Structure formats: C-alpha cells, structure tokens
Amino acid sequence: MLLLTLGLAACGVPGESGSGAGLSQAALEASIRNDRKHLFDGSLTYTPDVSMSVGGRLTYAVVLTARGEKSARRAAQAALETRVFRVGGWQGAGLSADGPEVKTVLHGPQRQAIGAPGENAQWQWSVSADEPGDYDLALTVITYQGETSRALETLSPPIKVHLKVYNTWSHRFTSMRNWLYTAAGISGALVGIFALRAPLTELVQGRREARKQRDENRDGYM
C-alpha cells in the first residue's frame, strides 16, 4: 500500500496529494508533510574532484539511488563519495559553474523517477572550459512533489565539485598569437600617432609664429 500511494503521488494523479490542484494552504501543507513521510532513504554518489585539459570535454555523471541492502552496498563500493538524500517520485539534478569560463550541458531528461528501493536515477553532463585554472561546480538535487515544481527534499548546501583545468601547448600558442595580434595593433596605432606628430608640431609652431608676427605688426603700428 505504501508503494501504491507513493506511485500515485509521484505521477501527479488528479485528486491525489501530489498534484496539489485546488487545495487550500492548510491542505497543501498537509499533503507535503504526508508525501514526505513516504520518501525513501537514498544516497547520491558523485566524484568530488575532476580534471581536464583546456579546450577538451569531460563527462561528469552522478547516480541517485533509493537504498536497499544490495544497492547501498554497491554504491559504497563504486562511489568515491556519497551523500544521504531522501528520494521518491520525481527527481531533478543540476550542475552549474561559478564563472563563464566553464560550461555544463545536461544529456538526457532533467527529471527522472524513482518508485521503489533499489531503483536509481542517473544524470550526465558534458563539461568544457575556455581557460585553465581551478573552478567550483555546484551540484544540486531536488525531490519534487509529483509533477509540480514544489520540493519535498532539497540537497542543502549544494555539493561543491572541484574542477582542475590544465593548460596545453595548443592553448598557449593560441593565447600568444592573440597577444601578438593585439600588440601589433597597438604598435601600428602608436606608429600612426608618431607619424602624425611631426606635421601637427609644425602646424602648431606655424600658428604660433603667425600669431607672434601679427602681434609684432600690431605693436609697430601703434
């Protein structure tokens, strides 16, 4: 009966607490509390530290499992790290970077379902970086109330995944070439400025001499 109730809530069946349609505030809060009682103990397996070369692509994957005796043992053996998390119904995950130099693209659906112990949801992202350096990725996971956007459980705080991006000779060459192009442009501009300096100097001096001559002529006339 427990699994049947959870399955109805997770699928957002009209009239069940998971949909929340037409409920008062008190009834909505009660439905959320009731649905939270039916969540399973789960575990999130992830890699806390990853590395890649600049300009390359890294596939980052996480697995969220509703714990059973066998599934918990497999997760502990396979994962570098795990985080306890309550699951059941529709699950969502996100991976974001702390700067524009790193981009993450999710492959597959953002929401996946877990309906019984031993089941899992998996997400994979493609990670790329434009510049070498050390970055932090934020991994978030949410257990939703049915098909709504309401969260029954949220991973808080988000998991920090450290990303090390190594430089390459190709990137160094490209950066140096771009720097040379920029330097050449600046040098060309400076050459142009100095080329115009002499005519401008002569023009200014000519105007000064003409003004001086006019002043002398005026003084002589008076």
What are the boundaries of each domain within the chain? 40-167, 168-222
Model confidence over 114-153: pLDDT tens digits? Answer: 999 999 999 999 999 999 999 999 999 999 999 899 999 9
* Residue bearing tokens 């053996």: 77
Question: What CATH number does the domain located at 40-167 have?
Answer: 2.60.40.10
Average model confidence (pLDDT) across the chain: 77
Model confidence over 76-101: pLDDT tens digits? Answer: 444 478 899 999 999 999 999 988 99
Q: Specify the pTM.
A: 0.65
pLDDT at 214 over 80: no
> What single DSSP character describes residue 112?
E
Model confidence over 38-79: pLDDT tens digits? Answer: 898 999 999 999 999 998 999 999 999 998 755 545 544 444
